[in-house]
């Protein structure tokens, strides 16, 4: 028993944050097969994840962006404020071209899409644990080209004009949530959500609420369909 406990203590401890139990189970099996890695905690909400980081003290958090209570981006920012040295790797269905730069700005150390192979995921985990940044080759090239071109020389895609919170509201609109539901989900007032909606319409040059709803729905479908 002491030998087994020593083996467990010597492994790198990982927290999985995802609101799909089947996904968590698959990740646990994959990671626990590695000789040096161990899933020590799992969570499906931002609140549970923060508690798990405090109590379990994992070495790395593997995080989805779409959670039950709040956005994974919110969790990244919360963790960065409290534990700036704690590494977070985002594993998500969301298109990396839209979210990778945002999660890095928020404080995460890498981004990998769920469509990637299991070997790539393990590589990403190890790379982030070494203190490096992990992105796909395609995304790395995009960011390097943007950096090399200088500020303002490569115009952003339209949705990239939205702030993190505006993008979150835009996505929730596309998933069919009304203003009141979005306010409850984000713990803000209805008036605040209405302000976000107005800003989104202005930035995307949309005339009215039906156009906004249609554009948001199309965008969500394009993200989940990739």
- Integer angstrom CA distances of residue 182 from 73, 148, 167, 216: 16, 38, 12, 14
Residues 6+ apart with CB under 8 A from 209: 197
Looking at residue 161, its pLDDT comes to: 85
Is a pLDDT exceeding 50 seen at residue 138?
yes
Is a pLDDT exceeding 50 seen at residue 1?
no
Residue 2 confidence class, pLDDT cut points 50, 70, 90 = very low
Length of the chain: 226
CA distance 38 to 29: 10
Is a pLDDT exceeding 50 seen at residue 37?
yes
Is a pLDDT exceeding 90 seen at residue 96?
no
Looking at residue 60, its pLDDT comes to: 97
Is a pLDDT exceeding 90 seen at residue 5?
no
Is a pLDDT exceeding 60 seen at residue 204?
yes
Looking at residue 129, its pLDDT comes to: 96
pLDDT tens digits along 52-85: 999 989 999 999 998 888 889 999 999 999 999 9
DSSP state, 5?
H
* pTM over the 0.85 mark: no
Residue 148 confidence class, pLDDT cut points 50, 70, 90 = low
Residue 109 confidence class, pLDDT cut points 50, 70, 90 = very high
Rg of the chain, C-alpha, whole Å? 19
Mean pLDDT, range 79-97, rounded to an integer: 91
Nearest of 76, 124, 114 to residue 223 by alpha carbon: 114
Nearest of 17, 21, 24 to residue 47 by alpha carbon: 17
Looking at residue 8, its pLDDT comes to: 57
Q: Is 69 exposed, middle or buried (0-12, 13-18, 19+ CB in 10 A)?
A: middle
Domains of the chain: 2-146 (3.40.50.2300), 158-224 (1.10.10.10)
DSSP state, 104?
H
CA distance 117 to 114: 8
42 pairs with which residues across the strands? 16
DSSP state, 176?
T
Looking at residue 27, its pLDDT comes to: 96
For helices 118-129 and 21-32, angle between their N-to-C axes, nearest 10 degrees: 70
Is a pLDDT exceeding 90 seen at residue 3?
no
């Amino acid at each position: 028993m002491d030998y087994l406990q020593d083996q467990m203590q010597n492994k790198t401890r990982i927290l999985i944050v995802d609101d799909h139990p089947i996904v968590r189970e698959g990740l646990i099996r994959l990671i626990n097969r590695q000789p040096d890695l161990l899933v020590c905690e799992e969570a499906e909400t931002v609140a549970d994840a923060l508690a798990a980081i405090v109590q379990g003290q994992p070495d790395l958090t593997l995080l989805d962006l779409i959670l039950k209570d709040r956005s994974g981006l919110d969790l990244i920012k919360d963790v960065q404020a409290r534990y700036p040295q704690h590494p977070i790797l985002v594993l998500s269905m969301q298109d990396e071209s839209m979210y990778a730069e945002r999660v890095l700005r928020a404080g995460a150390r890498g981004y990998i899409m769920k469509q990637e192979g299991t070997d790539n995921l393990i590589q990403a985990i190890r790379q982030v644990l070494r203190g490096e940044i992990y992105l796909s080759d395609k995304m790395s090239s995009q960011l390097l080209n943007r950096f090399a071109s200088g500020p303002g020389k490569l115009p952003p895609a339209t949705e990239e004009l939205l702030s993190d919170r505006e993008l979150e509201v835009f996505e929730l609109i596309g998933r069919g949530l009304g203003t009141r539901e979005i306010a409850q989900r984000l713990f803000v007032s209805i008036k605040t959500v209405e302000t976000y909606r107005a800003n989104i319409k202005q930035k995307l040059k949309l005339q009215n609420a039906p156009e906004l709803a249609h554009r948001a729905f199309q965008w969500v479908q394009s993200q989940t369909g990739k």
